[in-house]
């Protein structure tokens, strides 16, 4: 189990938001934290402290008012830590190689490989072939609907018909190197983790996977270690002291030993 740091970029700034509040309408989101520092500040910190495999997430859609500013922030981070971070947010076959050339270790993809609420396997195969499965991360972020969880796309705004479960993870594992899963119902709320999601991820034996969403204490991290069978990595946003929270960044270094 390892800590994977994050740099979330929205409206040209490094931010932490309440994930479920994000909307493309006028680029709105409920902010937990807005940094005065640029993305390369955080990338340099993660590099110095030896944290690899973190995530840069662009939260504005292509063509929106702030998208170009988001890209400039992402460029700063990738230049500061080449090969050390992954990037997601609007990735497709037209721009994936560009992000890898800019220094990303992997590209993170969700929406592009979905069509009409289901996985478009032709798109997935093409993208996996283009960049190589060893450089592709599938983001299967999910929300609950009754007793089950379903993958969400389009910056966590659209519920798909694809049930998030062990069967889906196994089916998609041959196309990618890793999975990233945000539990969107608790994302950015620092109110506790989605334990069922963690337990599902813990059943995956042969693929790297990172959990995000709701972590607010070291007790949550202990649960992830136990129920994730030591194989599930984690990321912390709003609850981290770097972003105004209470969990000390310095204490997370021991998780990667």
Q: How far is the C-alpha of 186 from the C-alpha of 239, rounded, in Å?
A: 12
* pLDDT tens by residue, 76-96: 999 999 999 999 999 999 999
Alpha helices in 183-252 (DSSP H): 195-202, 218-227
Terminal-residue alpha carbon distance, the chain = 9
For residue range 135-194, what is the model confidence (pLDDT) as tens digits?
999 999 999 998 899 999 987 789 999 999 999 999 999 999 999 999 998 876 667 899
- pLDDT tens digits for 38-67? 999 999 999 999 999 999 999 998 988 999
Average pLDDT over residues 191-212: 93
Task: Using the predicted structure, report yes or no on whether residue 22 has a pLDDT greater than 70.
Answer: no
Q: What is the pLDDT of residue 32?
A: 74
How far apart, in whole angstroms, are the C-alpha atoms of residue 187 and residue 70? 21
Structural tokens at position 222: 């202990």
Average pLDDT, the chain: 92
* Residue 257 clears pLDDT 50, i.e. is over it: no
What is the share, in percent, of the chain residues with pLDDT greater than 90?
78
Whether the pLDDT of residue 19 is over 70: the answer is no
Give the pLDDT mean for 102-116: 96
Inform me whether the pLDDT recorded for 254 exceeds 90.
no
Rounded CA gap, 7 and 85, in Å?
A: 9
Residue range 12-34: mean pLDDT, rounded:
72
Please determine, for residue 241, whether its predicted confidence score (pLDDT) is greater than 90: yes
* Domains of the chain: residue spans and CATH: 6-256 (3.20.20.70)
Q: Which residues contact 233 (CB under 8 A, 6 or more apart)?
A: 1, 2, 3, 4, 53, 208, 209, 210, 211
- Per the model's pLDDT, the better-predicted residue between 176 and 206 turns out to be 176
SS3 state of residue 66: coil
> Mapping DSSP to helix (H, G, I), strand (E, B) and coil, where does residue 122 land?
helix
- Rounded Cα distance, 105 and 135, in Å: 7
**Residue 98 pLDDT class (50, 70, 90 cuts):** very high
Where do the DSSP E strands lie in the chain?
6-10, 13-17, 31-34, 54-58, 85-88, 107-109, 114-115, 118-119, 136-139, 142-145, 148-153, 158-163, 178-182, 208-212, 232-235
Whether the per-residue pLDDT at 26 is higher than 70: the answer is no
User: What pTM was estimated for this model as a whole?
Assistant: 0.92
């Amino acid at each position: 189990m390892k800590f994977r740091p994050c740099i979330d970029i929205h409206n040209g700034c490094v931010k932490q938001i309440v994930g479920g509040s994000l909307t493309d309408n006028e680029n709105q989101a409920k902010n937990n934290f807005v940094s005065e520092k640029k993305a390369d500040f955080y990338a340099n910190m993660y590099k110095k402290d030896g944290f690899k495999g973190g995530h840069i997430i662009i939260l504005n859609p292509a063509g929106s008012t702030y998208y170009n500013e988001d890209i400039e922030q992402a460029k700063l981070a990738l230049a500061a830590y080449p090969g050390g971070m992954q990037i997601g947010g609007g990735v497709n076959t037209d721009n994936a190689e560009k992000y890898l050339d800019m220094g990303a270790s992997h590209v993170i993809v969700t929406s592009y490989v979905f069509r009409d609420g289901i996985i478009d396997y032709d798109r997935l195969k093409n993208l996996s072939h283009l960049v190589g499965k060893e450089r592709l991360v599938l983001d299967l972020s999910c929300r609950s609907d009754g007793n089950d969880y379903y993958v969400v796309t389009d910056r966590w705004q659209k519920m798909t018909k694809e049930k998030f479960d062990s069967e889906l993870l196994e089916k998609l594992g041959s196309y990618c190197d890793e999975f990233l899963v945000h539990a969107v119902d608790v994302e950015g709320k620092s109110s506790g983790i989605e334990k069922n999601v963690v337990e599902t991820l813990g059943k995956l034996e042969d693929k790297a996977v990172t959990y995000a969403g709701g972590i607010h204490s070291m007790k949550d991290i202990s649960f992830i270690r136990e129920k994730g069978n030591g194989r599930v990595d984690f990321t912390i946003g709003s609850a981290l002291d770097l972003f105004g929270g209470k969990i000390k960044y310095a204490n997370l270094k021991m998780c990667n030993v």
